Chains A and B, each alone.
Chain A
Amino acid sequence: MGMEKTDILVGIASFNNARTIGHVVKAVDAGLVKYFPDKKAVIVNSDGGSTDGTPDIVRTATHDHAAIFLSHPVYPAHRISIPYNGIPGKGSAFRAIFQKAVEMGAEACCVVDADLRSITPEWIELLLSPIMKEGFDFVAPFYSRHKYDGTITNSIVYPMTQALYGKRIRQPIGGEFGFSGKLAAFYLTQNVWESHVARFGIDIWMTTEAIANDFKVCQTFLGAKIHDPRDPGADLSDMLVQVVVTLFNLTEKHYEKWKGIKGSMDVPAFGFRYHVGLEPVRVNIERMLGIFRTGIRDLGPIWLKILGSGDFGEIEAIGKLSGKAFRFPPKLWTGILYDYAIAYHKRLISSEHLIKSLLPLYLGKTASFIMEVEDMDNEGAEAEIERLCMEFGEKKEYLVNNWREGGA
């Protein structure tokens, strides 16, 4: 394809994204021209075998740079489309991108979703500058999200990650990341590409491996993230399994690292934080509570085995609360999640069944959170989440103590 070396690599994973990828490529291109005009750059499209002509659009999308900038690019960004092998999913696509990054000796890289509607050229600068100019290895995104969105992040991944590794990366499952070539090379040395990491687990994996292996991490504010509605057929329980299994696997792997860490600190943040008006979000609380209560009734024996009768008794008690009075205490949720992590570590029951049995509890917690923050603004909701993080931090000792005694 011509180019052998590059300074910057921008990766876009795609599968049948012809509708939206053009805009993304144009924004990336503009960003590269505007902010890194004197650097060699390449846009790599890792495609899963699209049938709607996505790779062609990548190649041909152009933007009239003269209309928006005054300078001309020294090196126009080349574009490459590569298919990827392995399990169909974002992770496999990223692996191909990492490989290209290492092959071409890229200094700074970033990945963006192919269905982003809200991407601007500024995103490129925000994701790459910390690496190029400040020497960071990993840039996590920070979006302005609706207070109801991202509950898996807000109630599981963020509190647990900050309690375990001591770094407060607010949105570890972002979707857009910046990373150095050095980090890309490290990612490639890990043998995870046949697991859940290859699908929904890739984001949490990238973030956690960067933190746990002492790379320099930061986060950057990107504004709102608007993308095409994801396939509603994506099974929630499947998503939960992939993310949580990856999370627990990483927790097992890095036990020696996190067991001694106490407290957590902020990571450096870039970007100018502003509030964005967000579209309303529909929630079906009744359905969530219905599943939660069915879970108490039918999954009781399993939960009893994992959580013990003390916590299970509490769950039964809150199951009896009705309507607006329903609240899921943060302390209880923390205990539950740590007990699940321990149960996973000890292989109490098949890991797929284990994590799937978490779903009704997760829905109960989500319903409670939604009702709690219904009348609050974003700050209020954030404060609730920080409160939860404190519980995770305080109870960490429990996890450490119960972990090392009698592993699988």
Chain B
Amino acid sequence: MEGFVDVMFQPLEDFWRGFISFVPNLLVMIFIFILGFLFAWVIGILLKRVLAVVKFDIWCDRVGLTALIRKGDVWAKPSEVFVRILYWFLVILFIMIGLTALQLPTIDNLISQFFVYIPRAFSALLILIAGYLFAGFLSRAVLIAAVNSGYHYAKILAEAVRLLLVVLILAMALEQLQIAPGIVVAAFSLLFGGIVLALAIAFGVGGIDAAKRIIEKGGEEKKEETGEKGRDIEHL
């Protein structure tokens, strides 16, 4: 008879023991959550003040970042948006940390993977931003130089340069994020190679006449130079 009672209460006892050992962890987790919210809130206020002092909003206005935010129908001040993003980032961070306090192995695994991923996501973002700016700068340089040299296809050339760079940047970012790396590499190669091939065909076929004209003109100019009087205009 006693054995039966023991067997019946055993699971309850086990559960109780487990529960007792679990509760402190739970409390720690909750404490970390609260701490996190407070911390994020304080940082938010401080950051808001700092941004006001360095005139962050005005900088965003002049650089065109505000216009970008508004495109998404977000009408808060740029500094507020920034603070808000940071606030939630910190909160999520603390939630992650809090979850580790539970000391449950599966959760620990997930959390550590998450933390490993953050720097990668960050560098991917940096690559995207820097790459985008660089692509714009380089393509504009090509455009202006080509126009000034009198090439009719200046715009196409500049756009092709930009496209190639953008494809490259995207591939680099995706590679950082390790999203299906094998496929990305294959797709990138195909795309990049395809663009280059297309350009070659376009210039090759379309350019035959142009090349012919250039070669012929070169000969003509030589003849012209000896015949025509005068010198070239001096701009300076």
**Are A and B in contact, CB atoms below 8 Å, in the complex?**
yes
Question: B47 to chain A: closest CB distance in Å?
Answer: 26
Q: Is the CB of B236 within 8 A of A152?
A: yes
A281, A283, A294 interface centre (most CB from chain B within 10 Å):
A294
Interface size on A, residues (CB 8 A): 40
CB-CB under 8 A for A353 and B150, given A150-B234, A282-B232, A298-B155: no
Q: Which residues of A contact B104 (CB under 8 A)?
A: none
8 Å CB interface, B89-129 against A: none
Q: Which residues of A contact B155 (CB under 8 A)?
A: 297-298
| B222 in contact (CB, < 8 A) | no
Task: Specify the chain B residue showing the minimal Cβ separation from A292.
Answer: B147
Choose among A280, A291, A350 the residue that contacts B147 (Cβ–Cβ < 8 A). A291
CB-CB under 8 A for A294 and B147, given A152-B236, A153-B236, A350-B137: yes
Q: Which residues of A contact B228 (CB under 8 A)?
A: 282
Q: Is the CB of B147 within 8 A of A299?
A: yes
Interface pick from B9-17, B19-27, B138-146, B178-186: B138-146
Complex-state Cα separation, A141 to B143, whole angstroms: 38
Q: Is the CB of A151 within 8 A of B235?
A: yes
Question: A101 to chain B: closest CB distance in Å?
Answer: 25
Choose among B143, B152, B158, B235 the residue that contacts A239 (Cβ–Cβ < 8 A). B235
Q: Is the CB of A281 within 8 A of B147?
A: no
CB-CB under 8 A for A232 and B154, given A299-B144, A350-B137, A353-B144: no
Complex-state Cα separation, A297 to B233, whole angstroms: 26
Question: B60 to chain A: closest CB distance in Å?
Answer: 15
Choose among B144, B148, B234 the residue that contacts A149 (Cβ–Cβ < 8 A). B234
Q: Is the CB of B234 within 8 A of A230?
A: yes
Q: Is the CB of B236 within 8 A of A353?
A: no
A200, A239, A353, A406 interface centre (most CB from chain B within 10 Å):
A353
Question: B62 to chain A: closest CB distance in Å?
Answer: 8
Task: Specify the chain B residue showing the minimal Cβ separation from A295.
Answer: B147
Complex-state Cα separation, A83 to B229, whole angstroms: 38
| B18 in contact (CB, < 8 A) | no
9 further A-B pairs in the complex, CB-CB below 8 A; given A281-B233, A282-B231: A229-B231, A237-B145, A243-B236, A279-B231, A283-B233, A294-B151, A294-B152, A297-B155, A299-B144
Complex-state Cα separation, A200 to B235, whole angstroms: 12
8 Å CB interface, B196-231 against A: 228-231
Q: Which residues of A contact B158 (CB under 8 A)?
A: 298
Q: Which residues of A contact B147 (CB under 8 A)?
A: 291, 294-295, 298-299, 359-360
Question: B59 to chain A: closest CB distance in Å?
Answer: 12
Choose among A281, A294, A356 the residue that contacts B150 (Cβ–Cβ < 8 A). A294
Q: Is the CB of A298 within 8 A of B148?
A: no
Q: Is the CB of B230 within 8 A of A360?
A: no
Question: Which residues of A come within 8 Å of B, CB atoms?
Answer: 148-153, 173, 200, 229-230, 232, 236-237, 239-240, 243, 279-283, 287, 290-291, 294-295, 297-299, 302, 349-350, 352-353, 356-357, 359-360, 366, 406
Complex-state Cα separation, A283 to B232, whole angstroms: 7
B62, B140, B151, B229 interface centre (most CB from chain A within 10 Å):
B140
Q: Is the CB of B148 within 8 A of A291?
A: yes
Q: Is the CB of A281 within 8 A of B230?
A: yes
Question: A351 to chain B: closest CB distance in Å?
Answer: 12
Q: Is the CB of A357 within 8 A of B144?
A: yes
Task: Specify the chain A residue showing the minimal Cβ separation from B225.
Answer: A282
Question: B34 to chain A: closest CB distance in Å?
Answer: 46
Q: Which residues of B contact A240 (CB under 8 A)?
A: 235
Q: Is the CB of B140 within 8 A of A353?
A: yes
Q: Which residues of A contact B150 (CB under 8 A)?
A: 287, 290-291, 294
Q: Is the CB of B235 within 8 A of A236?
A: yes
Complex-state Cα separation, A94 to B141, whole angstroms: 32
Complex-state Cα separation, A200 to B234, whole angstroms: 14
Q: Which residues of B contact A406 (CB under 8 A)?
A: 62
Question: B197 to chain A: closest CB distance in Å?
Answer: 24
Complex-state Cα separation, A297 to B144, whole angstroms: 12
A-B contact pairs, 6 of them (CB 8 A): A153-B236, A237-B145, A279-B230, A352-B141, A359-B147, A360-B147
Complex-state Cα separation, A353 to B155, whole angstroms: 15
Question: B110 to chain A: closest CB distance in Å?
Answer: 45
Q: Which residues of A contact B232 (CB under 8 A)?
A: 229, 232, 281-282
Q: Which residues of A contact B140 (CB under 8 A)?
A: 302, 349, 353
Question: B201 to chain A: closest CB distance in Å?
Answer: 22
Q: Is the CB of B144 within 8 A of A294?
A: no
Q: Which residues of B contact A229 (CB under 8 A)?
A: 231-232
Task: Specify the chain B residue showing the minimal Cβ separation from A200.
Answer: B236
Task: Specify the chain B residue showing the minimal Cβ separation from A236.
Answer: B235
Q: Which residues of A contact B233 (CB under 8 A)?
A: 148-149, 151, 281-283
